[in-house]
């Protein structure tokens, strides 16, 4: 089965969706996703999305991102992401995304390794709020066709140029989708791990395809472990306890209920401290306590976490919960430039499968949604022949 279109996009997380929405409506677009439309890690993001609050925040935000990434970040990419953040937030609000507000103004929270509050959120399901609103917008576009339960197996290469993809439908039918431009937005690699916060079907298929075609890869060993997921002996995806919880005052205890780490340090540092404490105590988890957060804040800001823990037998307003580190995010991937172009002509990569250098060796909390959106829009602009310019001015009210 063969099809022709103007752009083919692999993946329906925020990167794929936002790229599609930023392409001209006269372009025909085919999107494929390995599972159903909503089963992307973008949907699972709890904490929020960063934004440059004002010009005075730039140096602090830049340094926080660099420090968390152990200064292995690509500075140009970090600069682009930060200075594009207000424009992206305005776009999202325009699409109907409902960020928390206080007295009519946008509310900001703080997470680990941030020197100040600069994170916008929607309860503790920010990813679901953003992704679902983008899906609604994509479904309105007559030029976009989506194929669910369709897996990319290869790219079509002609004289070193990408001219589409090969995919397999749920019924086993092989599809060849030819397009002048292809965007890979296929997500992370959590499905390759025993313990992960990712959907199990996200197995980094695009990496294998890229390797086969000699497409440049970068930092495949840069894998982030999230320090706090709800401990469980059940098989399957681990439930994330958002870093925002610690940003609002939650603390970590060992088996003696003694605090052993500064909870707002970067994720890799907190993860190392937890692992050392577990080894020392001979335990499979440590305790997370929300005793310093008032009940009203928990129910308002973290209702999903509260409800899930309750279903697992823990009332976070009254007792500690057991938490353990798990694979969470992939900072490496398919190398791309600042316009999300890979080393193969007419092939782009955005989101977690790409490596534009923003995150360095360790991602700063709540930079992932922003990074995906910024560089997805840049890919769309490049394909459309629009110049990528950064316009940091303006408010995000």
CA 296 to chain centre: 28
CA 328 to chain centre: 10
- Please, which residues bridge with residue 247 across strands? none
> pLDDT (tens digit, 9 = 90+) per residue, 96-147?
999 999 999 999 999 888 999 999 999 999 999 999 999 999 999 999 999 9
Sequence-distant (≥ 6) Cβ neighbours of residue 3 within 8 angstroms: 30, 175, 176, 177, 178
- Please, which residues bridge with residue 323 across strands? 230, 286
Strand-by-strand arrangement of the 181-184 sheet: 144-147, 29-32, 7-10, 181-184, 347-349
* 267 is an active site residue: yes
Strand-by-strand arrangement of the 321-330 sheet: 223-230, 321-330, 286-289, 251-253
Length of the chain, please? 397
Residue 45 has a pLDDT of 86
Q: pLDDT tens digits, the chain, 397 residues: what are they?
A: 999 999 999 999 999 999 999 999 999 999 999 999 999 999 988 889 999 999 999 999 999 999 999 999 999 999 999 999 999 999 999 999 999 999 999 999 998 889 999 999 999 999 999 999 999 999 999 999 999 999 999 999 999 999 999 999 999 999 999 999 999 999 999 999 988 999 999 999 999 999 999 999 999 999 999 999 999 988 888 999 998 899 999 999 999 999 999 999 988 999 999 999 999 999 999 999 999 999 999 999 999 999 999 999 999 999 999 999 999 999 999 999 999 999 999 999 999 999 999 999 999 989 999 999 999 999 999 999 998 988 655 555 5
Residue 355 has a pLDDT of 98
Residue 111 has a pLDDT of 86
Q: Is the pTM higher than 0.75? A: yes
If phi > 0 it is left, if psi is from -120 to 50 it is alpha, else beta; for residue 214 that is left
Domains of the chain: 2-150+331-384 (3.50.50.60), 225-327 (3.90.700.10)
Q: Give the three-class secondary structure for 186.
A: coil
- Please, which residues bridge with residue 167 across strands? 152, 175
Catalytic residue among 267, 341, 378, 382: 267
User: How many other C-beta atoms can be found within 10 angstroms of the C-beta atom of residue 393?
Assistant: 9
């Amino acid at each position: 089965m063969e099809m022709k279109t103007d752009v083919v996009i692999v993946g329906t997380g925020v990167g794929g969706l936002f790229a599609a929405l930023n392409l001209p409506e006269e372009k025909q677009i085919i999107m494929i996703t390995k599972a159903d439309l909503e089963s992307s890690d973008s949907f699972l993001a709890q904490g929020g999305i960063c934004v440059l609050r004002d010009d005075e925040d730039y140096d602090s935000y830049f340094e926080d991102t660099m420090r968390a990434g152990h200064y292995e970040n690509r500075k140009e990419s970090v600069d682009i992401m930060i200075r594009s953040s207000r424009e992206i937030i305005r776009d999202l609000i325009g699409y109907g995304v409902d960020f928390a507000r206080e007295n009519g103004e946008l509310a900001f929270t703080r997470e680990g390794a941030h020197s100040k509050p600069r994170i916008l959120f929607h309860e503790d399901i920010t990813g679901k709020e953003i992704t679902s609103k983008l899906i609604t917008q994509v479904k309105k576009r007559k030029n976009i066709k989506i194929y669910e339960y369709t897996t990319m197996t290869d790219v079509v290469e002609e004289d070193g140029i990408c001219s589409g993809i090969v995919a397999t439908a749920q019924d086993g039918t092989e599809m060849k989708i030819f397009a002048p431009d292809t965007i890979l937005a296929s997500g992370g690699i959590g499905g390759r791990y025993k313990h992960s916060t990712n959907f199990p079907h996200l197995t980094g298929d695009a990496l294998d395809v890229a390797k086969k075609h000699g497409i440049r890869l970068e930092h495949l060993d840069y894998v982030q472990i999230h320090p706090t997921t709800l401990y469980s002996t059940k098989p399957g995806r681990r439930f994330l306890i958002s870093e925002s919880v610690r940003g609002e005052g939650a603390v970590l205890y060992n088996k003696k209920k003694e605090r052993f780490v500064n909870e707002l340090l970067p994720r890799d540092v907190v993860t190392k401290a937890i692992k050392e404490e577990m080894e020392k105590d001979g335990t499979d988890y440590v305790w997370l306590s929300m005793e310093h957060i008032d009940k009203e804040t928990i129910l308002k800001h973290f209702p999903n976490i509260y409800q899930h823990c309750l279903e697992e037998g823990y009332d976070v307003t009254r007792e500690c919960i057991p938490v353990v580190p798990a694979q969470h995010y992939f900072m490496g991937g398919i190398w791309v430039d600042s316009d999300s172009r890979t080393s193969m002509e007419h092939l782009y990569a955005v989101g977690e499968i790409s490596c534009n250098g923003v995150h360095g060796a360790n991602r700063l909390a709540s930079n992932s949604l922003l990074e995906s959106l910024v560089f997805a829009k840049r890919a769309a602009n490049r394909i459309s022949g629009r110049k990528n310019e950064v316009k940091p001015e303006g408010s995000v009210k």
